Amino acid sequence: MRKATIDENKKCPEYGEIEGQVKNGKNRFGTQSYLCRHCKKTYTLDPKQNAYSEEKKALAIKIYYAGTSGRGGWSFATRTARPCSRVGKILGMSKNNVYRWIKKTGLIVNNPPKIFELDELYWFIGEKPRSETRENVYVITVVSREPRQIVGFYVAFDKSPERIQRIVDNAYDAEKYCTDGYAGYIDVAYPGKHVRNIHNKNDTFTVEGINADLRHYIPLLARRSRCFARCLDMLQAVMAVFVDAYNRFGIAKFCYQQRRNTGEFPFSVLDFF
C-alpha cells in the first residue's frame, strides 16, 4: 500500500486532517487528485472555479434580448433576438447555461405579450421655451401590459408614421395594438388588431403610467424643470440605460407576483441600476 506523507498543503477539506492524505491519480482536467484515508473523499488542492460571475450572466441575458433598430432607436425584446447557441459562441460558454439563465428571467420568448400600447412623449433638445410650448423632440414608446415592459422606443425630432412603423416592425408581433387619437397611428400597418381610442385612456393606461415613470425617474424629462438634454444622443443614451433597468425591474416584479400574490415588493426600480 502507498505510504501516506505529511504535507501541510495537503489538508482534507471535509475531515480537516493533514495526515493520511495520498495521491489518487488525476481528474479529467489533468489536475492532481488526492484521497483522504479517513473520510474516503477525493479532492484537489487548488480547485478551479467553473461558476460564471453574475456580470457574465447579465451580459449573456442582455445580448440575447438586445437588438438595434437604427439610429435613435433601441429594442429590448425583438424578433431578431440572438439564439442561445450564438450567445454561447460569442461569450465562449455552453448554450445550455445561457438557456437556463434565460428561463430564470421569467420572460418566455416563445410566448410573447399579446397586447401592446403605443404613445409619444414630447420634450426639448437644446433649449426650453419659457412661454409657448414648442417641443422639438419626441420619445415614442411601445410597451406590453403583462409583463410590464418597454419593448421598444425611439428618440427623434418627429413622430411620423414611418418612424412609428419602424418601432412596430422591430417588436414582437402582438394580437392587439392600442393607441390614442393621434392621426399618425392610422397610417401604420400593424401585425394585429389596431384599437384607436380618441375618447379616453382606457386602452393606453399602461403606457401612460410608464411615461409618468419616465418623467419621474429621469430628470431630463421632468416637468417644471430646467433640465433638458443638449443633444439627441444624450437623451438616447439616458433612455437606453433607464429602459434596461426598468425592464429588469418589470421582469423581477412579474416573477415575484407569480410566486406571491401580494401588491408589495421588497425592491424598487432604483435597485436595478
What is the structure's pLDDT at 182? 92
Judgement on whether residues 61 and 31 belong to the same structural domain of the protein: no
pLDDT at 7: 59
Q: Give dist(CA 194, CA 186) in Å, integer.
A: 9
Bridge partners of residue 123, in order along the sequence:
137
In a domain, 269, yes or no: no
The CATH number covering residue 157 comes to 3.30.420.10
Q: Are residues 177 and 232 in the same domain?
A: yes
Check whether residue 87 and residue 199 sit in a common domain.
Answer: yes
Judge whether 270 lies within some domain: no
User: Is 237 domain-assigned?
Assistant: yes
Asked if residue 255 and residue 197 are part of one domain, the reply reads yes
Instruction: Say what the pLDDT of residue 96 is.
Output: 79
Distance CA 98, CA 58 (A): 10
Listed residues 28, 50, 72: the one ending a domain? 50
* Residue tagged 418566455 (cell numbers): 108
Decide: helix, strand or coil at residue 130: coil
Residue 206 shares a structural domain with residue 153: yes
One digit per residue, the tens of pLDDT, for the chain of length 273 reads 455 455 556 778 777 777 778 888 888 777 888 888 888 888 887 766 667 777 787 777 767 655 333 333 333 444 344 466 777 777 888 877 877 776 665 554 445 678 999 999 888 887 766 655 567 889 999 999 888 889 889 898 889 999 999 889 888 788 999 999 999 999 999 999 999 999 998 999 999 999 999 999 988 888 776 677 778 888 888 898 898 888 888 877 777 777 666 667 777 888 877
Counting every residue written for the chain, the total comes to 273
Give the torsion sign (CA, 178, 171, 107, 235): negative
Statement to judge: residues 76 and 165 lie in one domain: yes
| Residue 273 located in a structural domain | no
Do residue 109 and residue 182 come from a single domain? Answer: yes
Q: Are residues 72 and 135 in the same domain?
A: yes
In this predicted structure, what is the pLDDT of residue 190?
93
d(CA 238, CA 246): 12
Residue 41 carries which side chain, given as an amino acid letter? K
Say whether both 215 and 129 belong to one domain: yes
Cα(67)–Cα(73) distance, integer angstroms = 10
> Which residue range(s) make up the domain with 158?
54-259
Within a domain: residue 271? Answer: no
The predicted pLDDT at position 133 comes to 59
Same domain for 93 and 187?
A: yes
pLDDT value at residue 245: 86
Query: What is the reported pLDDT for 67?
Result: 37
Name every residue whose Cβ is closer than 8 Å to that of residue 121 and which is 6 or more positions away in sequence: 138, 139, 140, 141, 211, 214, 215, 221
Query: Is 160 part of any domain?
Result: yes
The CA dihedral of 167, 170, 173, 175, to the nearest 10 degrees, is: -10
164 in the same domain as 202:
yes
Residue 219: inside a domain? yes
Q: Do residues 32 and 166 both lie within one domain?
A: no
How many structural domains is the chain composed of? 2
